Each structure stands twice: as structure tokens, then as C-alpha cells.
């Protein structure tokens, strides 16, 4: 059976541009007629996604699959680590929870994961022409080399050549690239077939002497310098630039604040807001940053109870309740939805055990279970109160990924009626507070626009139209822009040579 060609993208550090370059290569190979799939053996992220068949995977590989023109598949990310504390993570293997482990336990057991990784990779390689692999962090983390399954360890398992990416925007790019190469073993250095410098601002000619010196020092060709470009791709990392947006966008008619919880997850739920000209979306960490927004959203979180304690201790909950008294619209998604209820209980110690009082804006009780709910789902908005009546009947779709089950006390009205006959979410009878378990629900313009128009009318801007974009079509334009950027600034023919020559040399 013919096996796919492969190429791997590694970086000198986290957030150097590995996911960016991987997605761009996936789109280029797709445009050039090759069946292409992304692959990352181990991903650590709280931003995850549920596939159509109910499996959980990292969001970056979902984005890269879209760039490659194919549906996300859990085989693209066989191991996902979701941090639950400073030194522990929930370990998800092939889309299902294996266990929650401390870092030391996981490192002891990492080698057990290799057969799962190899099976997933081989299966994808049998169905595609090219696999574009992504590393994690840096391949020069010498303390982790003996148990590496995601950087040079994975390059060895897949026998892939490597492109090394460095971020010049943070400074020290030549030292980080040279130092990374210098810390590798000779056999590992042999795999690095090209270097890319990412996020450059200014005249590239001033880099020329440094580029030539770096080539001479490492013996590795420079494949190009990518300029800093405002291409809007889904991000999954806590270092994501959009999470640093604290100030209100100048001239925006609507001010929307998302509470940046310590364990915030699935913040891609709110990417759609950035495409609406009338909207300013910002992430806030301190109560003083909240101000007087039109809408406050509590996002998903991997640790609902811990993050609710954080809100209580730093004064964010008290500030939220004051905004509620003033008539601010308040919404919770998944873990944020759970926080808005009356009580949260954890009898099975999914989050450490115990119970606590919720914020109390929705009349419901949440109990954490041992099983994680994972599914894509569709439905319609129920008949809602007058302030949100324009939303009633709108189509709704998204995915669920949560451990808790929430039970209404019968005071509030259901938000959604799902296609399977169940209801999801709750809305207060005055329409001021609502919540749902569905991630991605805002991506549908027919769901989001009525809410935005209601808020515009409420704050005296009824003449403004807030029109969300078609999210799927918008993403396609961004992937094509990314491909154009790479074609213009990287030596794509050389990258094809690396693919072909490595295959013949292997």
C-alpha cells in the first residue's frame, strides 16, 4: 500500500507560528490537488472540538483540516491534554477520556501511547498523499527528549523531514534558531531541511546578512521570511493575541466583555464577534476592567468550580451582580452557564469534589458526573421573552463537551429545543440572563444577529445594522489568504523538493 509523503513543522518555542505554517502548507497542497491531512501526535490545549462521530480533538488540527479541505478526524490528534491544574491534565486518547494524571505520571506512561499514535498516523497516511505534521513547544527541550512523542520522536516514527520556524517578533530569533539546532543530536539535525522566520515587520533586506550567516552556521537553507500579517485563524493557545484585547474598539456601537477565566476554554466561540463592525469584543481579567458593557459573557472553562471561586475572590462576581441590577445582558456558555445557576455539586470528584453556591442568576442546579457529554447537535430557539422574541424559532447548532448535568428548578424558560427532543439552556423570564451548553452557537448569523440588534436598540443605536459574516465562507477566504502569503514569501518549490527527495532517500 502506498504511504503518504510527509513533512513536519517545528518551532523554537510555543506560539512561534507552527500551527500557522502547518495550516498554510495544508491549504497549498490542497489547492495543488493533493489529498492532505494534518497530524499532531500530542496537543495540550483547553480549546477543543467534538467531531461528527462524537470524539474530542484539539482545535488547531480542526482548523488545519478545514485548510486542507477535509472534515476534522480524531486521528489527526490522537492525544489531547487538557490542563486541570498547574501540574495535572485530563488525558484524552483517540477522542475519549483515559484518565486525569499528574505530569509525572503522564511522563512515566507516555511510551504506552506510541502504539495509539502510530496506528492513527499510519491510517491517515494510507488515505492521503501528504501528511503535514506539527510539533509542540520546541524540539530542543532536552529534559524531555527521552520520552518525546511529539517533536523529533514523532519525526522519527513517521520518518519526516522538518521545517523549523522561529518568531522574530519577540526578538532573539537568530539565537533561538541556532541554539535549537545546536542542542539537537546529529541524526535530528539531519532531519531539519529548512528554516522559516515568522512575524517580521519592516524591510526584509536588513535581515539578509543575518540570514546568510545563519545558513553558514547551521548548514540549513532559509526557506523564507513571513511578514507579520493580520490573517484571522482559529487559535487554541492561552497565548493567543485576541485574549489580550482589553480595550474597547474605537467607534464601536456595542461593547461586549468576555470574562477571561483562569481555565478559559473554547474561546473560539467568540471569534465571530470580531467580524462584526459594530461590535467591540474584549477579554477582562479584573473587575475594574469591566466598566459598563452592553453584554457580559462567561465562557467555557475546564475547571468550573475553581474559576467560580476565582471570580468570587477577586470581586468579579460582585461586579457582575451589580451590572445585572443595572440591566446588563448576561450569558453563560458551558462552564459559564453552570456558574450562573444556584448550586454546583461534584459528588464524583470530577473537579476535586464538594459543592458550592452558584452566582444564582438562573434557577438551576448542576451535578458533575463521571461521563463526559460529547456530541454535535442542532435545534431551534424556543419561544423567548419579549426582549429576545426576535430570536425565537431561529436555527441553532453547536457541540457539547461537558461533565455536568444541569436541572432547571422550573422558574426559567428553556433556551433551545434540540432535534433529539431534549431542551438545552435556560433564559430568565425577563430575557436578561441566558445560558447554553452549546459551543459554537454564535457562529450562525440567524442566532447572533437578533441579540446584537436588540442590544443596539436598547443602547440607542437602532439605526445601525450588526451583520455577522458567514463564518464558513469567511474562514475559506482566510485560508486562501494564508496560502497566498506562503506562496509569495516562502520557497514552495524547495518545499516540494524536500518532500520528494526525502521520500526517495528514505
306 pLDDT more than 70: yes
pLDDT digits (tens, 9 = 90+) for 127-180: 999 999 999 999 999 998 889 999 999 999 999 999 999 999 988 999 999 999
Average pLDDT score over residue span 290-301: 97
For residue 410, pLDDT over 60 is answered with yes
Q: Is 334 a catalytic residue?
A: yes
pLDDT-derived band of residue 357, with 50, 70 and 90 as boundaries? very high
> Which pLDDT band holds residue 48 (cuts at 50, 70, 90)?
very high
Which member of 328, 334, 382, 427 is catalytic?
334
If you ran DSSP here, which 8-state letter would residue 461 be given? Answer: -
Which residues belong to CATH 3.40.50.880 in the chain?
A: 254-465
In sequence order, the β-bridge partners of residue 279 are: 254
Q: Which residues contact 250 (CB under 8 A, 6 or more apart)?
A: none
280, β-bridge pairs:
255
pLDDT at 428 over 60: yes
Element (H, E) at 327: none
Query: CA distances (Å), 217 to each of 10, 12, 71, 157, in order?
Result: 19, 17, 42, 28
> Which pLDDT belongs to residue 373?
93
pLDDT range class, residue 417, cuts 50, 70, 90: very high
Does residue 87 surpass a pLDDT of 80?
no
If one counts every other C-beta atom within 10 angstroms of the C-beta of residue 423, the result is 14
What is the value of pTM for the model shown?
Answer: 0.92
Angle between helix 59-67 and 471-489 (nearest 10):
80
Q: What is the pLDDT of residue 300?
A: 97
Selected residue with higher pLDDT from 241 and 109: 109
What whole-number distance in Å separates Cα of residue 332 and Cα of residue 322?
17
Rg (CA), the chain: 24
- Residue 64, CB-side half-sphere exposure with 13 Å CA sphere: 31
Closest CA to 441 of 282, 259, 304, 270: 270
**Contact criterion met (CB below 8 Å) for 49 and 71:** no
CATH architecture of 5-233+475-505: 3-Layer(aba) Sandwich (3.40)
- SS3 of 503, please? helix
> Residue 250: what pLDDT?
81
Distance of CA 62 to the CA centre of its chain: 9
Dihedral pair phi/psi, residue 121, rounded to 5°: -65, -50
Strands 162-167 and 5-11: parallel
Looking at CATH, the fold of the domain delimited by 254-465 is given as Rossmann fold (3.40.50)
Q: Which one, of 161, 202, 48, lies nearest residue 505 by Cα?
A: 161
Indicate where the chain has its CATH 3.40.50.300 domain(s).
Answer: 5-233+475-505
Amino acid at each position: 500500500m502506498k504511504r503518504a509523503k510527509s513533512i513536519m513543522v517545528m518551532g523554537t518555542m510555543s506560539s512561534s507560528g507552527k500551527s500557522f505554517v502547518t495550516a498554510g502548507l495544508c491549504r497549498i497542497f490542497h489547492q495543488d490537488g493533493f489529498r492532505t491531512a494534518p497530524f499532531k501526535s500530542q496537543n495540550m490545549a483547553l480549546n477543543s472540538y467534538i467531531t461528527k462521530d462524537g470524539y474530542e480533538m484539539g482545535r488547531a488540527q480542526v482548523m488545519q483540516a478545514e485548510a486542507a479541505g477535509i472534515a476534522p478526524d480524531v486521528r489527526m490528534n490522537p492525544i489531547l491534554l487538557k490542563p486541570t491544574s498547574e501540574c495535572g491534565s485530563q488525558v484524552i486518547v483517540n477522542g475519549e477520556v483515559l484518565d486525569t494524571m499528574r505530569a509525572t505520571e503522564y511522563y512515566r506512561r507516555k511510551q504506552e501511547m506510541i502504539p495509539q499514535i502510530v496506528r492513527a498516523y499510519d491510517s491517515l497516511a494510507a488515505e492521503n498523499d501528504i501528511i503535514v505534521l506539527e510539533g509542540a513547544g520546541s524540539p530542543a527541550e532536552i529534559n524531555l527528549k527521552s520520552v518525546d512523542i511529539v517533536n523529533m520522536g514523532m519525526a522519527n516514527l513517521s520518518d519526516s523531514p522538518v521545517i523549523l520556524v522561529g518568531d522574530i517578533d519577540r526578538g532573539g530569533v537568530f539565537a533561538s534558531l541556532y541554539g535549537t539546532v545546536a542542542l539537537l543530536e546529529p541524526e535530528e539535525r539531519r532531519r531539519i531541511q529548512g528554516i522559516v522566520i515568522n512575524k517580521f515587520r519592516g524591510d526584509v533586506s536588513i535581515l539578509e546578512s543575518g540570514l546568510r550567516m545563519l545558513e553558514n552556521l547551521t548548514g540549513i537553507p532559509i526557506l523564507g521570511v513571513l511578514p507579520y500579517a493580520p490573517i484571522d485563524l482559529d487559535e487554541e493557545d492561552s497565548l493567543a493575541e485576541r485574549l489580550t484585547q482589553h480595550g474597547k474598539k474605537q467607534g464601536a456601537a456595542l461593547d461586549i466583555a468576555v470574562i477571561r477565566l483562569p481555565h478559559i476554554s473554547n474561546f473560539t466561540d467568540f471569534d465571530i464577534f470580531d467580524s462584526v463592525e459594530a461590535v467591540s469584543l474584549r477579554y477582562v481579567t479584573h473587575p475594574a476592567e469591566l466598566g459598563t458593557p452592553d453584554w457580559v459573557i462567561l465562557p467555557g472553562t475546564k475547571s468550573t468550580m475553581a474559576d467560580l471561586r476565582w471570580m468570587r475572590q477577586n470581586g468579579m462576581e460582585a461586579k457582575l451582580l451589580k451590572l445585572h441590577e443595572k440591566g446588563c445582558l448576561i450569558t453563560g456558555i458551558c462552564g459559564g452557564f453552570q456558574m450562573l445557576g444556584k448550586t454546583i455539586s461534584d459528588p464524583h470528584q470530577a473537579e476535586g469534589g464538594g459543592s458550592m453556591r452558584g452566582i444564582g442568576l438562573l434557577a438551576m442546579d448542576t451535578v458533575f458526573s463521571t461521563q463526559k457529554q460529547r456530541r454535535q447537535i442542532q435545534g431551534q430557539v424556543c419561544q423567548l421573552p419579549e426582549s429576545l422574541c426576535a430570536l425565537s424559532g431561529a436555527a441553532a447548532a453547536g457541540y457539547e463537551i461537558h461533565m455536568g448535568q444541569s436541572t432547571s428548578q422550573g422558574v426559567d424558560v428553556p433556551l433551545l429545543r434540540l432535534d433529539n427532543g431534549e431542551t438545552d439552556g435556560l433564559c430568565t423570564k425577563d430575557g436578561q440572563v441566558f445560558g447554553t451548553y452549546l459551543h459554537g452557537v454564535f457562529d450562525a448569523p440567524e442566532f447572533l444577529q437578533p441579540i446584537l440588534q436588540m442590544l443596539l436598540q436598547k443602547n440607542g443605536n437602532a439605526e445601525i445594522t450588526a451583520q455577522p459574516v458567514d463564518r464558513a465562507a469567511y474562514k475559506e477566504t482566510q485560508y486562501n489568504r494564508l496560502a497566498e502569503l506562503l506562496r509569495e514569501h516562502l520557497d514552495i518549490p524547495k518545499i516540494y523538493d524536500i518532500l520528494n527527495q526525502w521520500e526517495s532517500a528514505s
